[in-house]
Amino acid sequence: MKRAHVRIYGRVQGVFFRANTKKMAEKLGVAGWVRNMPDGSVEAVFEGDDKAVEQIIEWCHHGPEMARVEKVYVEYEKPEGEKGFRIIY
């Protein structure tokens, strides 16, 4: 079990990044959440199987088609038992 706290920078708001992150997380069986930040970045927490968490982090490096990801910061944390995946508004 792995938990990653991720921050994605670039053109990542207004390009369906959150909705596509939710779809990808559900496809991979990853729990957690995603939200837009005031500075224009996207913040997310992914929790689940090691391989699945690494797969969604890799996906975050390019995101959906209209996104232009410039940098991705990842910090690993102790799993907290997240259930489901949600978009925080």
Q: Catalytic pick from 7, 11, 36, 86?
A: 36
Active site residue 20: no
- 3-state secondary structure (DSSP) of residue 58: helix
d(CA 35, CA 78) in angstroms, rounded, equals 20
Question: Is 35 marked active-site?
Answer: no
Out of 3, 18, 20, 35, the active site residue is 18
Measure the CA dihedral 20/5/10/23, to 10°. Answer: 0
Between the alpha carbon of residue 57 and those of residues 6, 7, 25, 26, 45, the distances in Å are 8, 10, 10, 14, 10
Q: Catalytic positions, please? A: 18, 36
